[in-house]
Amino acid sequence: MALMVVGLSHRTASLGVLERASFDAAAAEEVVEQLTASPHVDEAFVLSTCNRVELYCDVSRFHGGVADVGDALCRRIGLGADELGEQLYVHYEDAGVEHLFRVACGLDSMAVGESQIIGQLRGALRGLHERGLAGGTLDRLLQNALRVGKRAHSETGLDAAGASLVDAAMARATPVVGELAGRRALVVGAGAMSALVATTLARAGLDVIVANRTPDRAQRLASAVGGRAVALDDLRAEVAAADLVVSCTGAVGHVLDVAIVASALLDRPERPLFLADLALPRDVDPDVATLPGAHLVDLEGLGRDLANSAVADDLRSVRTIVAEEVAAHAASLRAADVAPTVVALRAQARHVVEAEMRRLASRVDLDESTRSEVDRTVHRIVEKLLHTPTVRVKELAEAPGGVGYAAALRALFDLEVGTSGAVTLPGDAPLSGTVADAVGRVS
């Protein structure tokens, strides 16, 4: 089995498609049941947020799994495979693990470093446990992802990444419009990044106006910062009245195009307008920068401002954490793969000892005390002989390509390990219990 991720996000799909693809709890449970009933998917969970919908699956066949998950998304969204396919991305095995760990850290979020995703991952984990999948492949993956996310936020200054972008934008705005306190700021969008922007601007003494396609969300944000909410239909008039415009909606397509900004500038020929585009994809048409009186900065420009800052160092540190954890997760999977072989070797050794002790008992008359002492001595000898090779094969298995050592051990000792981890000994039925039960006893 192998991990496969199929999804779409603010980076690849339009807001309308993301809205149609959104899963509530009931829909997520339904699609998971459908997928796990297929022959290619063993486990699955859905991660559905305001800017991404992703299905994580433990699959036996890559192409079959992609087809099953793609069909499920097409049915959910109501689009054909040809149309939806261009907006989907697929990650497999280690690439899928890396993607989830980046998501857990907030590196793949619209507002870089946001921590809300941690709660959503916990919800996915609860869903797995409610379906009786605790201890499975995806359970271990989610547990690790949560740990990675916590490491990123506790060991680095990632939480400050979004705030630093806003600070950098304000630093760029001051030379254009002058002292910011008392100025009028228009915030386009009402998501996590917009909330951060609005809060920072309000604290700096600006009059904040919030425009959003959903009036209720705009009103909630505006009320929280002592500002005012407006409809997107009023965008042209609000741009004309503002000194500073910050847009971060995450919509596909330009929210502020050249026509809107050019028209707004006609009402303010003597006042420069500063615009900061913090969205990905861009909210503001880059050609706006060519308009007289308009000063536009985007994430790329602000990124250059922060290139040598502590935030950039934090982002590099988080990427390092992700790389380390991906390698550690892969090593743990390889170690888990070798565990059934180690269990089989020890089971075979016990089988041989018990057979020989029965043979000895049939040929030599030993009292109970002597027989027990001989039995313990033989078992200690076998345990000591097996200790080094079993510990070493687990260590070797954690390195890339290490599964070959387990295969060599199986060949050398003629071990038979079934796909379920059951151990078969000559003349015996498979041993009872799970491999997981025995792993804890392996040195």
Q: Which helix (H) or strand (E) holds 92?
A: strand 89-92
Whole-number Cα distances in Å, 1 to 130, 138, 204, 348: 22, 11, 53, 27
Residue 241 to residue 354: CA distance in whole angstroms: 89
* Bridge partners of residue 49, in order along the sequence: 52
Could you tell me if 392 and 409 are in contact, meaning their C-beta atoms sit under 8 angstroms apart? no
Q: Kindly give, in sequence order, each residue whose CB lies less than 8 Å from that of residue 151, ignoring residues fewer than 6 positions away.
A: 321, 325
Q: Kindly give, in sequence order, each residue whose CB lies less than 8 Å from that of residue 206, ignoring residues fewer than 6 positions away.
A: 180, 181, 182, 183, 184, 185, 244
Residue 317 to residue 7: CA distance in whole angstroms: 26
CA 378 from chain center: how many Å?
50
- Which among 66, 74, 73 has a CA at the least distance from the CA of 40? 66
Residue 87 to residue 75: CA distance in whole angstroms: 15
Q: Write the burial class of residue 185 (CB in 10 Å: 0-12 exposed, 13-18 middle, 19+ buried).
A: buried
Q: Which helix (H) or strand (E) holds 273?
A: strand 273-277
Catalytic (active site) residue 105:
no
* Bridge partners of residue 294, in order along the sequence: 273
Residue 249 to residue 286: CA distance in whole angstroms: 16
Number of Cβ atoms within 10 Å of the Cβ of 145:
26
Residue 24 to residue 251: CA distance in whole angstroms: 21
Catalytic residue among 50, 57, 105, 248: 50
Residue 58 to residue 36: CA distance in whole angstroms: 9
User: Which sequence positions are flagged as catalytic?
Assistant: 50
